[in-house]
Amino acid sequence: MKTLSFLFFTFLLFNNIYSQGNLQFNQVKLVSAIETVPAGKVWKVTNFLPTPNGNYQFAQIGLAEYLININGVAMNLGRRAYYNSSYGLMDEVRHSGDIWLAAGTTLSVVQNIAHLSVIEFNIVP
């Protein structure tokens, strides 16, 4: 039991010494152009809003990929396979989970996304 208590105390001490600070809510943003996370902030990308008339709606059979750029690297947030008939949407896969971005990271939408929903936090020491 003493060993377990010691390990728990050591973990708490280590965690407090190397902590990077607390997060404080700052604002909610909709990102549609290239933007950079400001110094002293972190961003949490929570969701995306597809374009209302993406190119997948005009094809008889199509595939839409929801793409963003993080530091110039294309990332796929999901796809939609579409068949223009009475069956409608056949398949949709979306990224699940939030994406955290550190200060200095660039973010932009690329394809079939109108806006990214972002929560901005201040890093408070």
What is 21-124's CATH number, 3.30.1460, 2.60.120, 1.10.3470, 2.60.40?
2.60.120
Q: CA 125 to CA 3: how far, in whole Å? A: 31
Q: CA 28 to CA 119: how far, in whole Å? A: 5
- From first to last of its 125 residues, what are the pLDDT tens digits of the chain? 555 454 445 554 455 445 567 999 999 999 999 999 999 999 999 999 988 765 544 455 667 789 999 999 999 998 877 665 655 556 677 778 899 999 999 999 999 899 999 999 999 98
* Alpha helical stretches, state H, the chain: 2-17
List the chain domain ranges.
Answer: 21-124
pTM of the model: 0.72
